Chains A and B, each alone.
Chain A
């Protein structure tokens, strides 16, 4: 399990804290700007703005 880490929000530069139980693909909110972020990697930790999908299903 990865240790926690503090990252920078890619939108506003605010602090984003990820814990050891963070999941790959997890969606979190930047506490400063409210942007929805996706955890794109957990080893190492990385975040990006979450994609928006109009209809969220496959088949």
Chain B
């Protein structure tokens, strides 16, 4: 079982990823992002996103009701349906689901995000949270009958409310629950780069211990990513492969060793 995470970047070769996946023998589940699309939609509709930085250095989108509307439109709406369409065109019988559908991804709403505002410490509450479990029965029902789940946020919280969540966290919870043996993550870079501005500084292999160390060395969104990667690598999968989603054959290359392997 492979979990395929397709980032939300605008330059990813989605057609190449889906075309390659059509030739993969083992079952897979797709989890996708849509942040570039969400940002564009939000700007176009005059409701630009707001970003919070917590006191511990983590950044996140402030998910008020407006922001959840935007993410529903972008992630579980437009992006999800276009991805399902592309899968169908490539012979993959995809079913697009948000975490709400069949409670396929359940989470717990955050108690609050601590931010500093005008020198004061404050708790900000929004519609965001952490994934805690998945509906394995529903996923197995689909997979066992030849369907490929294509999942997107929002997820459902303990009060049946739609909440925003981090796709990397969802992949980790999903991989552990379903017993995935591989996680492929496609990004807009050759893999994990030592120097983010130097594509030639690809790190081909990172151990889990090294991940924890690197997490302390970065800030903001990168720090969140590193933590999420660390959790992903602890979910039981034999390998997490971060690979370039912009190339002609992203999946084929990743399965052949391209990118960064965390194991």
- Which A residues form the contact surface with B (CB < 8 A)? 23, 25-28, 38, 50-53, 55-59
Interchain residue pairs with CB less than 8 A apart (25): A23-B117, A23-B118, A25-B122, A25-B123, A25-B125, A26-B121, A27-B123, A50-B123, A53-B110, A53-B113, A55-B58, A56-B112, A56-B113, A57-B59, A57-B60, A57-B113, A57-B224, A58-B61, A58-B128, A58-B129, A59-B71, A59-B128, A59-B153, A59-B164, A59-B165
B62 at the interface (CB under 8 A from A): yes
**Distance of A52 from chain B, by nearest CB (Å):** 7
Known contacts A56-B56, A58-B52; 20 further A-B pairs (Cβ under 8 A): A23-B117, A23-B122, A25-B112, A25-B123, A25-B124, A27-B121, A51-B123, A53-B112, A55-B227, A56-B54, A56-B58, A57-B59, A57-B60, A58-B61, A58-B126, A58-B129, A58-B165, A58-B166, A59-B61, A59-B63
Closest 6 CB pairs of A and B: A58-B128, A51-B111, A57-B60, A58-B60, A57-B58, A59-B164
Shortest distance between the CB of A23 and any CB in chain B (Å): 6
- Give the number of residues in B that approach A within 8 Å (Cβ atoms): 34
